[in-house]
Amino acid sequence: MPSRMKADEMKELALLLQKVPGFKGIDFKEVKRLTELLRESPEIGSIELKGLFGTGVVITRTGGPFGYAPPPPVPMPLPQPVPLAAAPPAGAHPGAEAASAAVAALKEIKSPMVGTYYKSPEPGADPYIKVGSRVSPGQTVCIIEAMKIMNEIEAEFGGVIREVLADDAQPVEFGQVLFRVDPHG
């Protein structure tokens, strides 16, 4: 059974969190609510509070107690082999096949949530990345605002950005492709 924080420990944590740069303040009731959420939801591994240019909360899931396990990975359909002697369809452009093969070689960075996409840390600032930018794993590529919380989205792999598929300050859906990256670029 998970251990519980005592009221004086929660108050001490709230006081410490008020000193974190970027936080406008967090009160005892909010800390208590977060600790209750952790206790009641074993699938939540941790809650991280961080200040960037506002308040941010990152919630992670784990294969925690009480039999919770993350959902199994969704199998990806395997590409079907194309016969070598197949003629291109009537009206096909000669470079269309090469272009589709190039897009297939790119990796995608998808939105992990529903929210509003922002290409830069604040209005008027340079975008985190643009077409031709080189990214590294863990590098911030954009922000998605969800429920008034700014969530930094990081690249899971490195490469060169070949396409930016979202418009600044526009809504995005869970799983929507935001960027296409050439991992060999």
State pLDDT tens for residues 170-181.
Answer: 999 999 999 999
pLDDT at residue 46, rounded to an integer: 66
Residues 115 and 177 in one domain: yes
d(CA 24, CA 56): 11
On whether residue 35 sits in a domain, the answer given is yes
pLDDT at residue 1, rounded to an integer: 45
pLDDT at residue 131, rounded to an integer: 94
Residues 111 and 57 in one domain: no
On whether residue 93 sits in a domain, the answer given is no
On whether the CB atoms of residues 103 and 112 are closer than 8 A, the answer is no
pLDDT at residue 33, rounded to an integer: 76
Structure tokens at 94: 């000669």
Mean pLDDT in each 10-residue stretch from start to end of the chain (185 residues)? 64 67 60 73 64 52 49 56 53 56 80 94 93 94 92 93 95 94 89
Q: How many residues does the chain have?
A: 185
d(CA 17, CA 149): 17
pLDDT at residue 68, rounded to an integer: 47
On whether residue 75 sits in a domain, the answer given is no
On whether residue 130 sits in a domain, the answer given is yes
Four-residue CA torsion sign, 121, 122, 123, 126: negative
Domain that holds residue 135: 105-182
Residue (of 55, 56, 57, 169) closest to 115 by Cα position = 169
Tens-digit pLDDT profile for residues 127-166: 999 999 999 999 999 999 998 899 999 999 999 999 999 9
Counting the structural domains of the chain, the total is 2
On whether residue 98 sits in a domain, the answer given is no
Q: How many CA atoms lie within 13 A of 170 on its CB side?
A: 9
On whether residue 94 sits in a domain, the answer given is no
pLDDT at residue 45, rounded to an integer: 63
